[in-house]
Structure 1
Amino acid sequence: MAEADEFEDKMKELESVCNPIIAKMFQGAGGEAGGTAAGMDDDEAPSTGGAGPKIEEVD
């Protein structure tokens, strides 16, 4: 199929552009994969840094 070949060619082209960018992002983040920030434990709750938003009731 011509469509499958075209798709694979575009996919390889996209990977050749994106992979170096993603590799640099991981190097800048200390190489950690996953959803946690660098230096933060999984069971540690993030600090809010304040009392939070003020909610006013409306009628």
Structure 2
Amino acid sequence: MLAEVRQPQPEPRKVRKAVAALRGFLVPIATTAARQEVQELAQHGIDNLNHAIGM
């Protein structure tokens, strides 16, 4: 992708295809990371509630 983008006149089709491939690679990683972060925040909230009510 970088090689194509650096060309004086990059081919839009190649750039779009490369960006789509990169997106396909990164989206699942980002989704998993976000899901894990949300789970950790939820667990932290539950722990704080349990502590507050003396459990």
* TM-score, scaled to structure 1: 0.47
Higher relative contact order (CA 8 A, sep 6+): 2
Encode CA deviations 1:19-46: one digit per residue, 9 max, x unaligned: 0000000001107xxxxxx48xxxxxxx
The structure where helix makes up a greater share of residues is 2
- The corresponding residue for 1:42 is none
Unaligned runs of 5+ in 1: 32-37, 40-59
- The corresponding residue for 1:5 is 13
* TM-score, scaled to structure 2: 0.51
Matched residues in 1 for 2:16 and 2:27: separation? 16
How many percent of aligned residue pairs carry the same amino acid? 12
Alignment counterpart, residue 25 of structure 1, candidates 29, 33, 44: 33
Unaligned runs of 5+ in 2: 1-8, 43-55
Tell me how many residue pairs correspond in the alignment.
Answer: 33
